[in-house]
Amino acid sequence: MSGAVVRPYGDTTGDGMVQVSFTLPVPHDKRAEGAAVQLANRMGIDPALLVHAKQMGGGFTFFVVYGRVNHLVDLSAVRVVERDFPLLSAREVNAVVKRRLRRKLSVVGACIGTDAHTVGIDAILNVKGVAGEKGLEYYRELSVTNLGAQVSVPELVEAARVARADAVLVSQVVTQRDAHLHNTREMSAAFREALPAGRRPLLIVGGPRFDESQAAELGVDRIFGRGTTPGEVASYLVHALVTDRKARSA
């Protein structure tokens, strides 16, 4: 096996062993366990060992299956969104904004729709930040408005207008029935309808189940996935709104 082609690691390198979990809408019994193994086989897991099964409510069963897959991953064919801007310190962000923008950079953030999970947006915006890194409220040259949870799209647009937002950050954790995708498309369409291109703020969304390559499809400027830090967001804001502003408006 070449260095560019890999298989999953379970007990030994390249043995192809994986562990998956899923729920089937059937009560827990022997037939349900057989159905779980059959599904795993059809997923390419063979042999499939059922290692855990637990009744979930009245008619559902949660399963964990461990087994071997024969699929290979060609690392040379993997396409991801790489960071295309320099990572700056808080001091560098403040210095660039003050010198080049000559005013505070306005940021408005929220969780939109029915999403009540503010952990992500708070980690990026609140001064306490995350994992020892300060949030955007800590940056002296950034003016941050955190609207919190369950904000409607019209409320967000109006708040961005009042704050003269340079950037709008939206966090979406709830993903049932692709709610995060629907909400993002509704949000981007609303901003395009409400504001002309030259006055539209930078639109950024983040959440654990976004595909970072879908930004253009969803009508936003950038998508950040799990593990994003406030410093990455601040550095991107400087890149997109200050140092690379001409490229953005082209």
β-bridge mates for residue 55, sequence order: 61
Helices and strands (H and E) in the chain: how many: 8, 10
Alpha-carbon dihedral 67, 71, 77, 81, rounded to 10 degrees: -30
Instruction: Decide if 54 is catalytic.
Output: no
Active-site position among 30, 128, 134, 246? 128
Which helix H or strand E contains 218, and what residues bound it?
helix 215-218
Decide if 155 contacts 118 (C-beta within 8 A).
no
Nearby residues of 242 by Cβ (< 8 Å), 6 or more positions away = 96, 97, 100, 101, 105
> Alpha-carbon distance 77 to 73, whole Å?
8
Closest among 80, 15, 75, 23 to 45, alpha carbons compared: 15
Burial of 244 (0-12, 13-18, 19+ CB in 10 A): middle
Catalytic residues: 128
